[in-house]
A and B are shown apart, each in its own frame.
Chain A
Amino acid sequence: MDFSFTDEQSMLRDTVASYLADHYSFDQRRAALKAEPNWRPDVWKAFADELGILGAAFSEEQGGLGGGATENMVVMEELGKALVVEPYLGTVVIGGGFLKHGKPAGADELIGQIIAGEAIIAFAYAEPQGRYNLSDLKTTATKSGAGYVLNGHKAVVIGAPYATHLIVTARTGGSQREAQGVSVFIVPKSAAGVTTRDYPTVDGFRASEVYFENVSVGADALVGPEGQSLPLVEQVMDEAVAATCAEACGVLRRLHEGTLEYTKQRKQFGQPISAFQVLQHRMVDMFIQLEQSISMTYMATIKLSDSDVERAKGVSAAKVQIGKACKFVGQNAIQLHGGMGMTDEMAIGHYFKRSTMIEGLFGSTDHHLARYEGLSIG
């Protein structure tokens, strides 16, 4: 058993942290989100060229640095601390995950483009009716000659406005909610018949409703086995959830630290409000939630390489803890900031908005409780 980080992993953390400290202050972020193009291609370029972190989680044969899930965890936690909106999760964790495990034609080439910062991927899986059920799909991919034709509507595709490619789940067979018949495709966003309606999300990201209208793709667009790819989707989704847990740890740290700092400065009744025991115990309970979340994130990250059932249980258990912590720590951070917590000018509210969106991202607390139960004996 070993919970330590290698020197390379610690260096990776320091590299990301120090870059973000210099280039991604709260004010810089806010200014960028208000102006076109509402994200920072310069930061993404720096991730690729200056920091070289986009390859941290890819093997050396693929042009990466030989890391994996732990590297994603390290990077995601730092991105969470700075509320980074640039699409590491969609591109490296999810896009990279499908390319590594699904091994579609041209995967290595696309991975090269990801590492170089040229390819950006968004994952179009959710549908308006499907909630968190990954196999509830109305989007269809019909065989046509050697390739397929896609039709359907994908909901709230995070990062789609900046993406060059979409990874899409679609039915090649089976009925609407059936496990059989789920396939995965990689589609250039510029493909004929793809239209998007772009909008900002409440936590500063950008997303799209994505419509596929008779979009023709070749056979090489297929990722993983035709009609049998639900396990692949679940695996990559678990990797995405584990990475999101890591991001949440960064967000939760900032929520907790910010609250400690604020209550030490804020004076009422002639003393800092941090001197009041009722607030101290609340902040201790927030701290315990944070620590438990870090523990569960380590656990989930380690279990990503375990059997399917152990992986899924570990990840869902972690997401349950993270979901509860995001609610408890987030709500109490605002409460302890009093009226200042309600303002747009203070960072704390922005961390709260992200933590609240993470609660529902890739499945709510109830969803993951039910999934965990479904995988348990008895």
Chain B
Amino acid sequence: MNLDFAPEDNAFRLEARAFIAQNYPKILRDKQDKGEALTKEDYLSWHRILAAKGWSTPSWPVELGGTGWTATQKYIWSEEQARADTITILPFGVSMLAPVLYTFGTDEQKAKFLPGIRDGLVWWCQGYSEPGAGSDLASLKTRAERVTGDDGKEYYIVNGQKTWTTLGQHADWGFFLVRTDQTAKPQSGISFLLIDMKSPGIEVRRITTLEGGHEVNDVFLDNVKVPVENRIFHENQGWTCAKALLAHERSGIAGVARSKRGLERLRQMASTEMSDQGATLLSDAFFKRKVTELEIDLTALEFTELRTLAGESSGKGPGPESSILKIKGTEIQQRLQDLALEAAGHYGAPFLGEAGHNSGVGPLHSLDTAGDYFNGRKTSIYGGSNEIQRNIIAKMVLGL
């Protein structure tokens, strides 16, 4: 047992750090600092820079564009990105769909879709949740009926509504769970379809979230025609893909490196904000204790993640234990947001808005702390709510 990084790992850290310093777009940095909303091109610019370097898809199999990094190197990479406060690479294509594609897809499907994901050319969105199917995802009702088209080819005609589609307003393509057998048990009649978002019959409608942002959408599907070759894996066996995807979705969700950076920022903020006594907020016994407990809980999460990574690197995939990372990781993110808003004091109140028109009001570190807090409530709800994660652990780990 030891925590030492090998010399080659330390060299890799320096290489990663230098690469980010030299290549991270300045325009992105400025927008982040001012709290301005990012455009589709902003999101993809950093992805494309990484793709050119061969670093956009570290976890993929090497022959498809993976880097072949060890678990330790991936961990270092996530730390360095967090340290430099880079935007996160969108997970929908790279870490959600791609593992399904390269695990269950045909060679044609892999060849058609993986390069666009890797190179940041195609924006993907997720069509899972429905108004009546949230935690009980398998009860989804969007239906796909198989027909023969005028051209003699086989199609699915898809009808229904998806919701909570994150950044779907930018999407070129989406991966959807649809019901292809109305009579089977809920999990048995589902298929996994890739749908071109420019198809006739698709409408994406904005949902404004409580902090005022546009992050999620409703997606309406009205007689959308999807070629049968866009189905991944067998008909009616899409649930297998869905489950595999959810496990991958959870594995990176602890967000340890980002939370460590967030904690650092909170400490800086609380070192300049003043307490009622005129000393720094960080020297206030009550506030300081909350920061300390958060830091210790974050250390516990970090070492639990390292244990999980060590298990993964010795051949065990991300198991149901990753639900622990999801629960604790999101709780910690939310506590950080809570404390930042508390630290902001009066300047938690000014509304930033998408235009960033209040960005001159109050100290920069207080900017949009309330927006982050409100938006952050989503983390314990998405990706399988934290209550669902407890059900997973109860069933899969504890055998209850």
A214 vs B327: C-alpha distance in the bound complex, in angstroms?
58
Given contacts A280-B394, A369-B292, A378-B282, contact A298 B1 (CB under 8 A): yes
Determine whether the beta carbon of A296 is less than 8 Å from that of B398. Answer: no
Interface stretch, picked from A36-44, A89-97, A140-148, A285-293, is A285-293
| A372 beta carbon closer than 8 Å to chain B | yes
A293 vs B301: C-alpha distance in the bound complex, in angstroms?
10
Q: Which of B263-300 contact A (CB under 8 A)?
A: 267, 270-271, 280, 282, 288-289, 292-293, 295-297, 299-300
Q: In whole Å, how far is A8's beta carbon from the nearest beta carbon of chain B?
A: 13
* Other-chain residue from A283, A295, A303 in contact with B394 (beta carbon distance below 8 A): A283
CB-CB < 8 A to B271: which residues of A? 378
Nearest B residue to A301, CB-CB: B1
Determine whether the beta carbon of A4 is less than 8 Å from that of B398. Answer: no
- Chain A interface residue number, banded: 35 or more
A281 vs B327: C-alpha distance in the bound complex, in angstroms?
12
Determine whether the beta carbon of B296 is less than 8 Å from that of A302. Answer: no
* Other-chain residue from A280, A287, A296 in contact with B300 (beta carbon distance below 8 A): A296
CB-CB < 8 A to A372: which residues of B? 292, 296
Nearest B residue to A285, CB-CB: B390
Given contacts A292-B328, A295-B300, A296-B300, contact A284 B310 (CB under 8 A): no
Determine whether the beta carbon of A283 is less than 8 Å from that of B296. Answer: no
CB-CB < 8 A to A298: which residues of B? 1, 303, 307
| A221 beta carbon closer than 8 Å to chain B | no
CB-CB < 8 A to B84: which residues of A? none
| B393 beta carbon closer than 8 Å to chain A | yes
| A373 beta carbon closer than 8 Å to chain B | yes
A369 vs B393: C-alpha distance in the bound complex, in angstroms?
30
Given contacts A283-B394, A321-B296, contact A3 B400 (CB under 8 A): no
CB-CB < 8 A to B282: which residues of A? 378
Determine whether the beta carbon of A284 is less than 8 Å from that of B306. Answer: no
Q: Which of B1-27 contact A (CB under 8 A)?
A: 1-5
Determine whether the beta carbon of A291 is less than 8 Å from that of B2. Answer: no
Interface string of B372-400 (1 = CB under 8 A from A): 00000000000000010011011001111
| A1 beta carbon closer than 8 Å to chain B | yes
Q: In whole Å, how far is B310's beta carbon from the nearest beta carbon of chain A?
A: 4
| A376 beta carbon closer than 8 Å to chain B | yes
Q: In whole Å, how far is A29's beta carbon from the nearest beta carbon of chain B?
A: 27
Q: In whole Å, how far is B387's beta carbon from the nearest beta carbon of chain A?
A: 7
Determine whether the beta carbon of B300 is less than 8 Å from that of A284. Answer: no
Determine whether the beta carbon of A280 is less than 8 Å from that of B293. Answer: no
Nearest A residue to B397, CB-CB: A287
A320 vs B304: C-alpha distance in the bound complex, in angstroms?
16
| A307 beta carbon closer than 8 Å to chain B | no
Determine whether the beta carbon of B267 is less than 8 Å from that of A378. Answer: yes
CB-CB < 8 A to B3: which residues of A? 1, 299, 302-303
A298 vs B300: C-alpha distance in the bound complex, in angstroms?
10
| B321 beta carbon closer than 8 Å to chain A | yes
| B240 beta carbon closer than 8 Å to chain A | no
Nearest B residue to A5, CB-CB: B1
Nearest B residue to A373, CB-CB: B292
| B324 beta carbon closer than 8 Å to chain A | yes
Determine whether the beta carbon of B299 is less than 8 Å from that of A283. Answer: no
Given contacts A321-B296, A378-B282, contact A2 B310 (CB under 8 A): yes
Determine whether the beta carbon of A373 is less than 8 Å from that of B289. Answer: yes
| A232 beta carbon closer than 8 Å to chain B | no
Determine whether the beta carbon of B300 is less than 8 Å from that of A321. Answer: yes
Determine whether the beta carbon of A299 is less than 8 Å from that of B299. Answer: yes
Determine whether the beta carbon of A3 is less than 8 Å from that of B292. Answer: no
Nearest A residue to B299, CB-CB: A317
CB-CB < 8 A to A260: which residues of B? 398-400
* Other-chain residue from B280, B295, B310 in contact with A4 (beta carbon distance below 8 A): B310
CB-CB < 8 A to A302: which residues of B? 1-3
Further contacts, 12 of them, CB under 8 A, given A277-B394, A280-B390 = A281-B394, A287-B397, A291-B304, A291-B324, A292-B300, A295-B303, A298-B1, A298-B307, A299-B3, A317-B299, A378-B267, A378-B270
The 10 closest A-B pairs by CB, nearest first: A295-B303, A280-B394, A292-B300, A295-B304, A284-B390, A3-B310, A317-B296, A281-B390, A284-B393, A299-B303
Contacts from A to B (Cβ < 8 Å): 1-5, 70, 260, 263-264, 274-275, 277, 280-281, 283-285, 287-288, 291-296, 298-299, 301-303, 317, 320-321, 369, 372-373, 376, 378
Contacts from B to A (Cβ < 8 Å): 1-5, 72, 267, 270-271, 280, 282, 288-289, 292-293, 295-297, 299-301, 303-304, 306-307, 310, 314, 321, 324, 327-328, 387, 390-391, 393-394, 397-400
9 interchain pairs, CB-CB under 8 A: A2-B2, A4-B314, A260-B400, A283-B398, A284-B394, A287-B393, A299-B3, A321-B296, A369-B296
